[in-house]
Structure 1
Amino acid sequence: MTDSVDPVESASDDGVDLYDVSTWEERTSLDGLAVAIYRLIVGTARVAVILLAFLILLAIGGLAALTDLQVGVLTLLSAIPALGLAAYVYYSDVTTNEPLSLLVATFLLGVLTANFAAVLNSLARPAFQTLGFIGSVAFFFVVVGPVEETVKLLAVRLHAYRRSEFDAVVDGAVYGAMAGLGFATIENSLYITQNLGTGTEMDLGLGLIGMGGGITAVRALAGPGHVIYSAIAGYYLGLAKFNRENAGPIVIKGLIIAALIHATYNSTVGIGSGIISTLTGLPPLAAFFAYVILFDGVFGLYLIRKIKRYRDAYRHAHAEDTAHESAFRSEPTEFE
């Protein structure tokens, strides 16, 4: 929404003082107090959201990757493909490099905000379970896709979005990818913890690989999807930051695209891998790998093309600026 101007201000000369009439700025002590209270409220709300997310993380056992070496190793292994994809998005940013501190903060916020999705998904799931397959598909499209993509975007919005370092549209994709990496990491950790079972003791060796290797491999291929979806939504968040008059619809568009891709994956991965297994004779796990690689490849290419389009426009614009500067410098002055 563009900044509107009151009729008094628009009809008045620039030299007229309209403070507290139709304009406002911080002048008095009371103004300063109002500004301070507002900032305190906003800051407290952000801290409250982060604290609540951390408490949920503790409640659902999300710190197992830090407290249990077995879970930690498997979680780290499962996150490698997603980390590789996030690194690619980072290095494809043709503008200034994003600071490591902001990338790490966004990753951690992605870990924390994922817990909101865990709670909301758990609360909503029973309402869809009685509807069988149709209910599962509806659950993915109505709840899982929109909720998970929203909380990942929240991870970016809470901190990185507000910083001056977020100074280009494509930065949204970079921070979105980091939020997706954080989300995938904690999700993988929870899945691995559940599949290994609580209180199970095993050596770090063949026993660990045998019991945790299967779920680790599955989660490793699930991770890049989260990075792709949230990088797409993040790109639109970046677009919204520099198009304030249409920021709301732009953010919603990004969320719709990301949520639809996410829900489509969840709804088709079982059927798709089954078809591949039937047609090719591949074992179920191999067929699953084939389908995920194909699906992520299609939408990963969509993300890459979007980033490439921005990169080409950036380079073209800067090449024009350089050409104009060179032409200006080469023009003789009246003193020459």
Structure 2
Amino acid sequence: MAVHGRASFTVSSEHDAEQKRRRLGLTLWITGMILGVVLNLFYTFRGILATQGSIIPAMFVGAVFAFPPLVVYLFIPSVLDRFDPEPWWCLLMAFLWGAVAATGFSILINSTVHDVFSAAFGPKVGDLVSASVSAPFAEEFWKGLAVLGFFYFMRREFDGIVDGIIYATFTALGFAAVENVLYYAKAAMEGGDVLAGTFVLRGVFTPWLHPLFTAMTGIGFGLARESTKSSTRLLAPVAGYMIGVSLHAMWNFLPTALGSAMGAVFVPWLLLWLLFVAAFSVLIIALVVRKGRLIRENLRDEVLLGHLSQEEIDLVCSPVGRLRCTFGWRGASGRNFIRAGARLGLSKWHTARAMKGQKRTISADFIIPLRDEIKQHRAAMMARAPRY
């Protein structure tokens, strides 16, 4: 009885600690968003004053070109994250952080660096340092903070490398959308041909560069989440961030340094980066497949325990399982069943790794509740079954 009471107290204490962590994370997120709004408004008004208001209609044009393509951009990572999709509100928080907080703090740092170096060494040096040094470090830092936030404050919703990439992608797409408004607005002020060329480059050929850069940080935190080694947990996020910064700096440096002479090497430069994106896309697909295999491996003994049938495991681990439920009689109950099954497999995986490293994990506390949740969703599915 005493042992049971002590275990219950431990579970309760860990749950309370998790709730405190989440509340602190939400407080920091709201604070960052408020400051981001203030900074964005300040620099927007500064731009309006500098152009005597002529940029206002151009910004509307920029918004028209920047935001509608997000329907496609956001759909792709949502489809890839098929086995255990992140909660929509987490993805919304990540997107808004990138669009508001990360852009606000980044423009503050980049503008300050540009002004200082321009005053000291001239505008060309200011442009080069701001674009090739300040922007990569500052932008990847502020975007990466969103991934760090989910990794630390929302640990229940952060399982590994795939989740790190998804959160990084949504954050980066939010950042890129707001950044594109400014690029398209400036291009619109120069003429329709310039706007069309800018949209083709940023909106068609390279919309995935910001997600590629920030995903390196996401992979770093994902490796830290999956590892039990203290050195990996500490160094992987730093290494991921530095790789993202390096890629970002490489992309920004050559066009800024060469200026109008960039045309001679533009096509091979663009093709090189498209190959980067293609290779990264293959990596993501491989990681998603790996995640499905991990879920299946950790659910196998649930058949012997009588909690799942083999057919149900096949549904949970099917690449089109959620689609089958959406268009079949299982509906939302089936999608919830799949999510609970996937969460069970991942919770068991985290628990097994923690036990191997002789560490405690809150994931162990989710196993029994998830089994109960699976029973509830199975009953809801059967109630929806067609009658013959």
Relative to structure 1, the CA distance from residue 169 to residue 186 in structure 2 (aligned partners, 3 Å threshold; closer, same or farther) is same
Once the 2 structures are TM-superposed, how far is the Cα of residue 115 of structure 1 from its aligned partner?
Answer: 1.3
Conserved 8 A contact 1:77-1:216: yes
Conserved 8 A contact 1:82-1:224: no
Match of 2:165 among 166, 169, 173: 173
Look up the match of 2:93: 105
Whose relative contact order is higher, 1 or 2, with alpha carbons under 8 Å and at least 6 apart?
1
User: Aligned partners of 2:275, 2:72: CA distance in 1, in Å?
Assistant: 17
Conserved 8 A contact 2:97-2:174: yes
Look up the match of 1:296: 273
1:254 aligns with 2:240: yes
1:50 aligns with 2:47: no
- Taking the TM superposition and a 5 Å limit, the aligned residue runs for 1:109-148 are 109-112=97-100, 113-129=102-118, 130=121, 139-148=130-139
- Taking the TM superposition and a 5 Å limit, the aligned residue runs for 1:178-327 are 178-196=170-188, 209=192, 212-220=195-203, 221-243=205-227, 245=230, 246-269=232-255, 277-278=263-264, 288=266, 290-291=267-268, 293-321=270-298
Root-mean-square deviation over aligned CA pairs: 4.5
Is the partner of 1:97 in helix, strand or coil? coil
User: Aligned partners of 2:122, 2:56: CA distance in 1, in Å?
Assistant: 38
The amino acid that maps onto 2:251 is: Y
* Cα deviations by residue, 1:9-68 (Å, 9 ceiling, x for unpaired): xxxxx99x9xxxxx9x97xxxxx9x9999987765444322211111111122899xx96
User: Aligned partners of 1:171, 1:36: CA distance in 2, in Å?
Assistant: 21
1:95 aligns with 2:83: yes
* Cα deviations by residue, 1:197-235 (Å, 9 ceiling, x for unpaired): 5xxxxxxxxx98457434434442454211221123222
Aligned length: 287
Structure 1 unaligned regions, length at least 5: 1-13, 18-22, 27-31, 198-206, 279-286, 330-336
Relative to structure 1, the CA distance from residue 275 to residue 91 in structure 2 (aligned partners, 3 Å threshold; closer, same or farther) is farther
Identity of aligned residues (%): 22
- Taking the TM superposition and a 5 Å limit, the aligned residue runs for 1:145-156 are 145-156=136-147
* Cα deviations by residue, 1:257-278 (Å, 9 ceiling, x for unpaired): 1110010011124678978844
Conserved 8 A contact 1:141-1:260: no
User: Aligned partners of 1:231, 1:128: CA distance in 2, in Å?
Assistant: 30
Structure 2 unaligned regions, length at least 5: 49-54, 307-388
TM-score by length of 2: 0.59
Q: As a proportion of its length, which structure holds more helix?
A: 2
Conserved 8 A contact 2:219-2:237: no
Conserved 8 A contact 2:140-2:241: yes
Once the 2 structures are TM-superposed, how far is the Cα of residue 105 of structure 1 from its aligned partner?
Answer: 2.2
- Taking the TM superposition and a 5 Å limit, the aligned residue runs for 1:56-71 are 56-61=39-44, 71=59
TM-score by length of 1: 0.66
The amino acid that maps onto 2:220 is: Y
* Cα deviations by residue, 1:132-165 (Å, 9 ceiling, x for unpaired): 8777655545322111111111234446863333
Once the 2 structures are TM-superposed, how far is the Cα of residue 321 of structure 1 from its aligned partner?
Answer: 4.5
